[in-house]
Amino acid sequence: MKNRSVELVANAGAIHSVGDGFRVHTFFPSSYRLDMYRMSPFILLDYNPKIHFAPSQTPRGVGVHPHRGFETVTIAYKGKVQHHDSSGGGGVIEEGDVQWMTAASGVLHKEYHEEEWSKKGGDFQMVQLWVNLPAKDKMSAPKYQALKSAEINKYKIDDAGSEIGVIAGDFNGVKGSAVTFSPVNLLNIKLKSGTELPLSFPEKFNTALLVIEGEVLVNGTEKVLADSLALMANDGEGFKIKAVNDSVVLVLSGEPINEPLVAHGPFVMNTKQEIIQAFQDFENGKFGYLED
Ligand code: MN
């Protein structure tokens, strides 16, 4: 098996606000080598590194907005996010939980710090990933998969506490908890200090790892610190990660969807005409109604 090498390591440098509740670094799409296609089927990765929010009686967050043409995957590492959508759904994403929202033909939603959490304040750390949908599924019905921490299928590495939460795809026979539209692996890996883990994905699968906590060595040589993303090259299958200290690493790997993309704000479609249609449908209330 040919080894997969590290193509680049990027850290969460520039932070911007999404609404007033999310302070994120957009690892991709970005200005350098990570455009909208490079990590397909993953089209956006926003990372809120651990940031302390002071108590607030009014929950911070982002108001009503639409999405169409893809899925949003929200992973809470610290803090709690409350969400509501135009289909009447809603819920709280707590620490360790994953919300896999298929926006597909369209939803309106809002995302805020959970009310009680907001009153106390605290450390907040979050990932939001956008997963593209194949053209044939972009206008399918919206749905949610609310994956509670305890329900996410686990692969146990050892008795010391190293384990893999298989959010999507599979790992050594453990199936992912989320249903996906195209081949996607999303692994939340907890590694105790000194533990080494071999990983392997088909060469053409676009693959990256985001270090949430700790520090890892990739292939024994490339040091990747917390709040950094390592993009793996498509030059092999297998690679190894070793925890330098107790670490949490999010690994994403998926088969690219080789279709043209036209993106405008919260809409990601295949043609300009479909984007114009999305705006028209939004203006005409076809995404439903949700109070701010
Ligand atoms: Mn959203």
Q: How far is the CA of 21 from the centre of ligand 1 (A)?
A: 12
pLDDT score for 88: 79
Q: How far is the CA of 14 from the centre of ligand 1 (A)?
A: 21
Q: How far is the CA of 45 from the centre of ligand 1 (A)?
A: 13
Containing 116, the helix (H) or strand (E) segment is helix 115-120
Would you mind telling me the total number of residues written for the chain in this entry? Answer: 292
What predicted TM-score, i.e. pTM, was given to this entire model? 0.97
Model confidence over 88-104: pLDDT tens digits?
778 999 999 999 999 99
Which tokens hold the place of 81?
């996010």
Q: How far is the CA of 102 from the centre of ligand 1 (A)?
A: 11
Containing 274, the helix (H) or strand (E) segment is helix 272-283
Q: How far is the CA of 10 from the centre of ligand 1 (A)?
A: 24
Q: How far is the CA of 121 from the centre of ligand 1 (A)?
A: 22
Which segments in the chain show pLDDT lower than 50? Answer: none
Q: How far is the CA of 111 from the centre of ligand 1 (A)?
A: 7
pLDDT score for 93: 96
By DSSP bridging, strand 61-67 and strand 174-175 are unpaired
Q: How far is the CA of 67 from the centre of ligand 1 (A)?
A: 7
pLDDT score for 192: 98
DSSP track, the chain: -PBPPEEEEEE----EEETTTEEEEEEES-SSS--TTTTTTEEEEEEEEEEEE---SSPPEEEEEEEBSEEEEEEEEES-EEEEETTS-EEEE-TT-EEEEE-TT-EEEEEEE-HHHHHH-EEEEEEEEEEE--GGGTTSPPEEEEE-GGGS-EEE--TTS-EEEEEESEETTEEPSS--SS-EEEEEEEE-TT-EEEEE--TTSEEEEEEEEEEEEETTTEEEETTEEEEEPSS-SEEEEEEEEEEEEEEEEE----S--EEETTEEESSHHHHHHHHHHHHTTTT-----
Q: How far is the CA of 109 from the centre of ligand 1 (A)?
A: 6
Q: How far is the CA of 110 from the centre of ligand 1 (A)?
A: 7
pLDDT score for 31: 67
What is the C-alpha separation between 6 and 233, in angstroms, rounded?
6
Q: How far is the CA of 119 from the centre of ligand 1 (A)?
A: 23
